[in-house]
């Protein structure tokens, strides 16, 4: 009988209680030096490696751990360093400056990693000289060996790396060919060091256009074959299906396939005989992107099927576990719900249970997990009825009519200025929230603090000269978790953190039951802020698509049903804000593009349902009420028409890190709704100059009607320091003031 092996594609970097984040941010704040940072992260890496070893994995990944982002690590490995940062020592500070920017230079672009909420730093090829720098991957592999961990190195493959890059005069194929000798040198060093196999991540091979670069993919892996490396290489794909016949034709040891998010196609190809039985099959059978316990009985049946397709079967998660929290061990949850959950370590336990069952005829752990799963499935969390058809999904009047009513009511100046919603979550804010949650201060003390903070920031915004204000969201820990705490049907964890970008961690709520609005969520704070000023204050909400995409969604209902349940809840809050007299309501959808399926055949259905849910949440208001929305850090060209179909009165979109690339998308559409393009990067401590902001505005006005244009930062300001926010917003307002006074609006 075949021996089943187990492996993993990647493990969360954050640590069980965000130790990774705290160490890095302590370094940024000059509280620890570089050697201390490196030692703390080495200790955490060791902990992660040994933890995975304890779950009896045949092989543990090395190369998934990073100081910021694994794509940025690959850029530095091959000297793909942005031109503005070249000539510096290759150290932590260079890595962080590329990722975050500094006083002299803007950061590199930040883009969603396929259809997840993880962001990678886009490699820039302008005027680079590729070469092999310090081989950190080899160092980490040797470290794993030194602590007696059987590890396999992980590296982003040349096709994926170049496909996710930008800039440079070389063609796609020329860039790949330039890198191949460098990849060969790295791969050979790992083989020489004893690597049994090397995981090469090529997720771009699941995308629609993968057929267009099959030739260069074949060229690359033939090159490695000619170098004698092919028997050590495993190509890992995830998030969708592949063309298995093509992938099977490549000269490599094994192939990694996603059997969770492939819509059944990878399994069909396996059954059709498209896999060479002599190739190792690395089967992603445990969901690496959601937190629900596996149907362990179904996984057993899947393994039975896959065993017939290969002579060597390795079972693994469907993707890196980067996208889920570390462990349930520290949570105190209702047992009836907790039994249905599985974080990163629990997923490794599921793999171990299956390994024991097949290899050792040991069913104890398997039977325990099956019993837990069955008990959870028998819980009744869904029994509510909804009347979706009773709520409007189109505004009462077209935009031109609404705009006249809104202009008359709001009386805003030319090029109105605003922010995206949140202001700095200072240590004081976080301390008061923690003290309140842990009953160290009274409800009244906490409410008084929030009122004082709101009042202080209303005054700051007025002094700076912003036209449309916000209350600052000081009562909110996160733009999705906050709503998860208040809406029925959501579960909020204590330590369920996942990495979003850099040191930014989010704690996605878990949707386990029917969603319902039971009381006002944001009205008190927004109404109080409005009472302090004559300028309009925006109500700030998160939209249904984003709440769903940034939560761990239930899988027992169609996705669109859950999304529409959330939309009805947000609609209730929108109407409550309007009834309270709030004139502008922003319903953010930064994750609309993120959830777009990787295969274009599913795009129209996804976007139609997303647009419907947003309109279900926002269309019931009067013409005079102005609806805003916001999106950030994504590639919007594919969805520009869906963005228009949202029919929001004003949309604000990030363009700072994409350096204005989004403007090109407006050349293909007549966008006659209100729009604000983010004119500076809030994820960098760097303060923009007036000339930079002015240039960004003027470039946008070449494609967008000035009467429709708003000026704002590219995202919320909660991660910035107060002095940075004051200074940057002052520059923004001063730039707009000069533009307003200019006799020729196109110049300064």
Residue positions in the annotated binding site?
18-21, 112, 420-422, 473, 550, 588, 594, 630, 632, 654, 715
Helix or strand holding residue 585 (H, E): strand 584-588
| Cα atoms in the Cβ-side hemisphere of radius 13 Å centred on 118 | 20
Helix or strand holding residue 153 (H, E): strand 151-156
Query: By 3-state DSSP, what share of the chain in percent is helix, strand and coil, each rounded to 5?
Result: 45, 15, 40
What is residue 689's DSSP assignment? P
Three-state DSSP class for residue 151 = strand
Distance CA 649, CA 646 (A): 9
What separation in angstroms does the CA of 65 have from each of 60, 481, 683, 694? 12, 26, 22, 40
**DSSP tally for the chain: helices H, then strands E:** 25, 20
Which two three-digit tokens encode residue 392? 């409007």
Radius of gyration of the chain (CA): 26
> CB neighbours (10 Å) of residue 103?
9
Residue positions counted in the chain: 748
Any residues with CB less than 8 A from the CB of 695 and at least 6 apart, and which? none
Question: What does the H/E/C string look like for 501-539?
Answer: ECCEEECCCEEEEEEECCCCCCHHHHHHHHCCCCCCEEE
Three-state DSSP class for residue 580 = coil
Distance CA 49, CA 642 (A): 44
Binding residues for Zn(2+): 630, 632, 654, 715
364 exposure class (CB count in 10 Å sphere: 0-12, 13-18, 19+): exposed
CA 502-508-509 angle, 5° bins:
165
Phi and psi of 738, rounded to 5°?
A: -65, -35
Which two three-digit tokens encode residue 474? 């000081």
Name the residues annotated as catalytic. Answer: 683
């Amino acid at each position: 009988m075949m021996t089943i092996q187990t492996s993993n594609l990647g493990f969360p970097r954050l640590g069980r209680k965000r130790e990774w984040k705290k160490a890095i941010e302590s370094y940024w704040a000059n509280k620890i030096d570089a050697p201390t940072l490196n030692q703390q992260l080495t200790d955490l890496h060791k902990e992660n490696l040994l933890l995975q070893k304890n779950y009896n994995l045949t092989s543990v990944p090395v190369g998934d751990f990073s100081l910021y982002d694994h794509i940025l690590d690959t850029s530095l490995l091959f000297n793909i360093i942005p031109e503005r940062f070249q000539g510096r020592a290759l150290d932590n500070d260079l890595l962080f400056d590329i990722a975050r920017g500094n006083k002299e230079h803007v950061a590199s672009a930040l883009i969603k990693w396929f259809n997840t909420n993880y962001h990678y730093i886009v490699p820039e090829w302008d005027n680079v000289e590729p070469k092999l720098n310090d081989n950190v991957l080899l160092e980490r592999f040797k470290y794993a060996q030194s602590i007696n961990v059987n590890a396999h190195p992980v590296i982003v493959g040349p096709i994926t790396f170049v496909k996710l890059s930008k800039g440079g005069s070389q063609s796609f194929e020329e860039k790949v060919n330039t890198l191949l000798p460098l990849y060969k040198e790295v791969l050979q060093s790992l083989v020489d060091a004893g690597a049994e196999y090397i995981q090469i991540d090529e997720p771009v091979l699941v995308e629609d256009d993968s057929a267009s670069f099959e030739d260069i993919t074949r060229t690359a892996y033939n090159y490695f074959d000619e170098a004698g490396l092919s028997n050590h290489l495993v190509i890992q794909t995830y998030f969708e299906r592949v063309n298995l016949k093509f992938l099977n034709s490549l000269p490599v040891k094994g192939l990694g396939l996603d059997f969770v998010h492939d819509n059944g196609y990878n399994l069909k190809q396996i059954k059709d005989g498209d896999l060479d039985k002599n190739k190792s099959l690395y089967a992603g059978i445990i969901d690496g992107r959601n937190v629900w316990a596996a149907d362990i009985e179904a996984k057993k049946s899947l393994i039975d099927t896959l065993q017939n397709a290969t002579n060597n079967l390795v079972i693994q998660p469907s993707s890196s576990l980067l996208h889920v929290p570390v462990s349930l061990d520290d949570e105190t949850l209702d047992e009836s719900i907790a039994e249905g959950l599985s974080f990163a370590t629990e997923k490794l336990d599921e793999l171990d249970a299956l390994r024991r069952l097949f290899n050792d005829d040991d069913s104890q752990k398997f039977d325990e997990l099956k019993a837990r799963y069955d008990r959870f499935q028998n819980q009744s969390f869904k029994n509510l009825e909804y009347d979706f058809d009773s709520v409007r999904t189109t505004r009462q009047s077209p935009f031109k009519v609404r705009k006249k009513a809104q202009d008359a009511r709001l009386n805003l100046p030319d090029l109105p200025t605003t922010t995206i919603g949140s202001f700095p979550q200072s240590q004081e804010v976080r301390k008061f929230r923690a003290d309140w949650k842990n009953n160290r201060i009274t409800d009244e003390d906490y409410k008084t603090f929030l009122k004082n903070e709101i009042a202080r920031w209303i005054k700051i915004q007025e002094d700076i000269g912003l036209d449309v204000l916000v209350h600052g969201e000081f009562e909110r820990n996160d733009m999705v978790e906050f709503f998860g705490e208040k809406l029925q049907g959501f579960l909020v964890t204590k330590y369920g953190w996942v990495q979003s970008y850099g040191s930014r961690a989010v704690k996605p709520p878990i949707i386990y039951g029917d969603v319902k609005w039971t009381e006002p969520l944001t009205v008190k704070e927004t109404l109080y802020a409005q009472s302090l000023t004559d300028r309009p204050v925006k109500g700030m909400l998160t939209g249904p698509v984003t709440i769903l995409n940034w939560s761990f969604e239930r899988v027992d209902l169609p996705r669109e049903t859950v999304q529409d349940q959330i939309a009805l809840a947000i609609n209730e809050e929108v109407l409550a804000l309007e009834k309270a007299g709030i004139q502008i309501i922003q319903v953010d959808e930064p994750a609309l593009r993120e959830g777009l399926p990787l295969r274009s055949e599913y795009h129209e259905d996804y976007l139609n349902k997303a647009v419907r849910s947003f309109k279900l949440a926002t269309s019931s208001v009067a013409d005079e009420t102005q609806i805003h929305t916001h999106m950030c850090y994504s590639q919007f060209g594919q969805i520009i028409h869906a963005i228009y179909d949202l029919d929001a009165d004003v949309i604000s979109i990030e363009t700072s890190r994409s350096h204005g690339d989004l403007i090109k998308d407006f050349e293909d559409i007549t966008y006659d709704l209100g729009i604000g393009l983010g004119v500076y990067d809030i994820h960098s401590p760097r303060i923009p100059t007036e000339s930079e902001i002015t240039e960004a505005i003027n470039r946008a006005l070449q494609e967008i009607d000035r009467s429709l244009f708003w000026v704002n930062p590219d995202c919320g300001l909660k991660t910035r320091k107060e002095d940075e926010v004051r200074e940057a917003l002052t520059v923004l307002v001063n730039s707009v003031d000069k533009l307003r006074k200019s006799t020729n609006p196109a110049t300064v």
